[in-house]
Amino acid sequence: MAVSTQQIKELRAATGAGILECRNALEQANGDFNKAVDFLREKGLAKAAKRSGREASEGVIDLYSHGNGRVGVMVELNCETDFVARSDTFRKLAHEIALQIAAMSPQYVGESDIPEDVLEHEREIARKQALEEGKPEKIIERIVEGRIAKFKKDVCLLNQASIRDDSVTVQDMINEAIVALGENIVVRRFARWALGEQSK
């Protein structure tokens, strides 16, 4: 099927992908705009997955102060090269992640950072709640796993829905930047302080 220049332009504006990638996506999708967008997203995620094993030791530390100094955040975002670390796109992503941490107070970067004893404690609470609610014994474990999944979504930065657009997670935002910048990007660590808060 012949793809028009206008279609390529529209797809490029919506996705930021290259001209040839847009043409190819539209051809694969027989001119269907939404299918072409999905095709590019899937391809992008595959590229992001390939890059995830690469060393990321450059980057920035973003500092953010909110509410007239009532909340402070420091986040280290890493990439592969100094060139990307200095780019506006990368620095904007670091700042967006700092805003996310200020607003949503995650406790861990990703799921693998949650200590097993914390997960076990949460499972125990979820199990007791389900029993007290009178849930049937045979579905208790499913309920527990559902509540653990929600717990991970709340406390892990990468699993949280973006404060700007709750249809995407922080990990989705990072994946989009990986595709756009062509480098692995990793949140190394973060700290969040609130005035008067007890340190853990």
pLDDT tens-digit series, residues 142-160: 889 999 999 999 999 999 9
Q: Which pairs from 7-15 meet CB under 8 Å and 24+ separation? A: 7/31, 7/33, 11/36, 11/37, 11/40, 15/40, 15/41
Per-residue pLDDT tens for 67-110?
A: 888 999 999 999 998 899 999 999 999 999 999 999 999 999 99
CATH number, domain 5-51: 1.10.8.10
CA 18 – CA 12 distance, rounded (Å):
7
Q: Per-residue confidence at 113, pLDDT binned at 50, 70, 90?
A: very high
Largest CA distance in the chain: 64
Q: Which residues, in sequence order, are CB contacts of 80 under 8 Å at separation 6+?
A: 54, 55, 56, 57, 58, 183, 184
Please check whether the domain covering 58-110+156-194 is classified as CATH 3.40.50.300.
no
What's the confidence (pLDDT) of residue 173?
93
Please tell me the total number of residues recorded for the chain in this structure: 200
pLDDT at 48 > cutoff 70: no
Domain spans of the chain? 5-51, 58-110+156-194, 115-154
CATH number, domain 115-154: 1.10.286
pLDDT at 167 > cutoff 80: yes
pLDDT at 187 > cutoff 90: yes
pLDDT at 199 > cutoff 70: no
Q: Are 143 and 122 in contact (CB under 8 A)?
A: no
Q: Are 178 and 184 in contact (CB under 8 A)?
A: yes
What's the confidence (pLDDT) of residue 65?
93
CA 40 – CA 27 distance, rounded (Å):
12
pTM: 0.69
Q: Are 58 and 85 in contact (CB under 8 A)?
A: yes
| Mean pLDDT value across residues 167-190 | 91
pLDDT at 120 > cutoff 70: yes
